[in-house]
């Protein structure tokens, strides 16, 4: 009697996949002085992958551990490496994962960038596309606000930070600094924008940046990673308002913790603010906008100048009901806050 034994199908090979903490569509800021921590996750589905090796390479990059042996991967394993730029400009990090029983897979981070080297092509203009952003960073388990403005002044000049006296004027922009007056280059073909010594990516309604503000050590940020989504504008001279805005924050051991501002249509104002948890300062008198975003206050106290910026809708149209930015303090580096409309 003939007995037919069904053939045993060969077991399917495991499938490997590569996932990076960094979004490959976004740029990553590198330094020539120290390494940037980069996470690579290798996952396996359909079985256990054996003799798994991760190889990282890139022209102009120094990788502390360019080859990592993972042995076996049954679910997911993480590789942590530090990457330093040997030269300025754009670099590509190539990632390859091999196995003795699974097909080789490849991935890359194509927009690693370090200051210096060949500049980005300057094919776009971001004039007037201004943003305000409140980010958070954590120290010893406590979150603090990191408040920044990003102002594109013309076709090649920008200002990073809180401007001291209205819409900034930048006669001598820097190509390497990450605060104050900087030059920028916007490449429309990739969406990348070099803003001084920071790098970013322009999206339809926001701008992703690395290197602006304070990095969050507890989230593994070598440089601050933030998305500017809230548009702002600097109101024109002569503009009058009729509203009250307020801001309170109590996580700071020192610095600005409370601001209340009332501007009236008749040109009078009320301002109250608290610094270092000391007795609040109160100002009353008359106000005027004497230049774009330059709020001039006059009263018995004398005269004060503050930067005043109004939040805008996504199309750039100012809408004070969304909130206003007010800078407090003398000198080139004032403090400031995003005040909300008080009903």
CA distance linking residue 120 with residue 124, whole number of Å: 11
Residues 223 and 278 both lie in one domain: no
CB atoms within 10 A of CB 35: 16
Q: How far apart are the first and last CA of the chain?
A: 93
Residues of the chain above pLDDT 70, percent: 94
Residue 157 belongs to a domain: yes
Residues 335 and 273 both lie in one domain: yes
Residue at token pair 């490849």? 106
Distances (CA, A) of 242 to 267, 268, 269, 321: 9, 10, 10, 11
Confidence of residue 105 (pLDDT cuts 50, 70, 90): very high
Residues 223 and 268 both lie in one domain: no
Residue 296 belongs to a domain: yes
Model confidence at 19: pLDDT above 50: yes
Phi first, then psi, for residue 81 (nearest 5°) are -130, 160
pLDDT confidence of residue 4:
38
Comparison of pLDDT for 68 and 145, the residue scoring more? 68
Smallest Cα–Cα separation from 170: which of 185, 194, 192, 154? 154
Tokens at 187, concatenated: 């490449």
Which residue segment(s) compose the domain that 66 sits in? 15-114
Residue 138 belongs to a domain: yes
Q: Which of 61-70, 80-89, 149-158, 313-322 has the lowest mean pLDDT?
A: 313-322
CA distance linking residue 291 with residue 289, whole number of Å: 6
Tokens at 68, concatenated: 């990592």
CB atoms within 10 A of CB 250: 7
Smallest Cα–Cα separation from 163: which of 144, 150, 177, 176? 150
285-292 CB contacts, 8 Å cutoff, 24+ apart: 287/263, 288/237, 288/238, 289/235, 289/236, 289/237, 289/238, 289/239, 290/237, 291/166, 291/167, 291/237, 292/166, 292/167, 292/234, 292/235, 292/236, 292/237
Model confidence at 343: pLDDT above 90: no
**For 249-282, how does the pLDDT look when each residue is reduced to its tens digit (9 = 90+)?**
877 666 899 999 999 999 999 999 998 878 999 9
pLDDT confidence of residue 58:
98
CB atoms within 10 A of CB 82: 14
Residue 5 belongs to a domain: no
Residue 31 belongs to a domain: yes
Residue 197 belongs to a domain: yes
Model confidence at 5: pLDDT above 60: no
Please enumerate in sequence order all residues whose Cβ is within 8 A of that of 272, keeping only pairs 6 or more positions apart, or say none: 258, 259, 260, 280, 281, 282, 283
Residues 222 and 307 both lie in one domain: no
pLDDT confidence of residue 1:
38
Residue 58 belongs to a domain: yes
pLDDT confidence of residue 2:
36
Is the full-model pTM beyond 0.85? yes
CA distance linking residue 74 with residue 58, whole number of Å: 28
Residues 251 and 315 both lie in one domain: yes
CATH of the domain at 85: 2.60.40.10
**For 154-204, how does the pLDDT look when each residue is reduced to its tens digit (9 = 90+)?**
999 999 999 999 999 999 999 999 999 999 999 999 999 999 999 999 999
Q: Half-sphere exposure of residue 228, counting CA atoms within 13 Å on the CB side?
A: 28
pLDDT confidence of residue 139:
75
pLDDT confidence of residue 301:
96
pLDDT confidence of residue 253:
61
Choosing from 228, 258, 288, the residue where a domain stops is 228
Model confidence at 95: pLDDT above 90: yes
Residue 234 belongs to a domain: no
Specify whether the CB–CB gap between 39 and 56 falls below 8 A.
Answer: no
**For 209-253, how does the pLDDT look when each residue is reduced to its tens digit (9 = 90+)?**
999 998 776 666 789 999 999 999 999 999 999 999 999 987 766
**For 63-76, how does the pLDDT look when each residue is reduced to its tens digit (9 = 90+)?**
999 999 999 999 99
Q: How many domains does the chain have?
A: 3
Smallest Cα–Cα separation from 267: which of 236, 234, 289, 283? 289
């Amino acid at each position: 009697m003939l007995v037919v034994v069904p053939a045993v199908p060969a077991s399917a090979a495991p499938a490997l996949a590569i996932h990076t903490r960094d979004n490959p569509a976004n740029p990553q800021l590198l330094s020539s002085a120290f390494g940037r921590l980069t996470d690579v996750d290798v996952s396996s589905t359909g079985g256990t992958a054996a003799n798994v090796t991760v190889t990282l390479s890139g022209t102009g990059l120094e990788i502390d551990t360019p080859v990592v042996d993972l042995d076996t991967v049954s679910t997911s394993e993480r590789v942590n490496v530090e990457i330093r730029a040997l030269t300025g400009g754009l670099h590509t990090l190539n990632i390859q994962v091999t196995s003795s029983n699974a097909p080789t897979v490849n991935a890359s981070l194509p927009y690693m960038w370090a200051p210096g080297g060949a500049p980005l092509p300057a094919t776009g203009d971001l004039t007037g596309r201004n943003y305000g952003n409140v980010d958070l960073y954590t120290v010893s388990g406590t979150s603090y606000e990191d408040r920044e403005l990003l102002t594109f002044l013309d076709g090649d000049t920008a200002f990073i930070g809180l401007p001291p006296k209205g819409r900034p004027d930048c006669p001598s922009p820097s190509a390497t600094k990450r605060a104050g007056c900087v030059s920028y280059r916007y490449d429309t073909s990739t969406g990348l924008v070099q803003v001084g010594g920071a790098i970013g990516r322009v999206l339809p309604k926001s701008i992703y940046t690395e290197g602006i503000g304070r990095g969050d050590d507890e989230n593994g940020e070598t440089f601050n990673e933030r998305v500017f989504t809230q548009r702002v504008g600097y109101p024109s001279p002569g503009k009058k308002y009729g509203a009250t805005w307020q801001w309170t924050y109590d996580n700071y051991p020192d610095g600005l913790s409370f601001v209340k501002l009332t501007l009236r249509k008749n040109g009078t104002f009320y301002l109250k603010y608290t610094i270092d948890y000391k007795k609040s300062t109160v100002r009353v008198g008359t106000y005027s906008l004497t230049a774009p975003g330059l709020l001039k206050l006059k009263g018995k106290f004398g005269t004060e100048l503050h930067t005043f910026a109004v939040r805008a809708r996504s199309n750039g149209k100012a809408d004070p009901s969304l909130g206003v930015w007010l800078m407090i303090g003398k000198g080139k580096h004032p403090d400031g806050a995003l005040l909300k409309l008080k009903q």
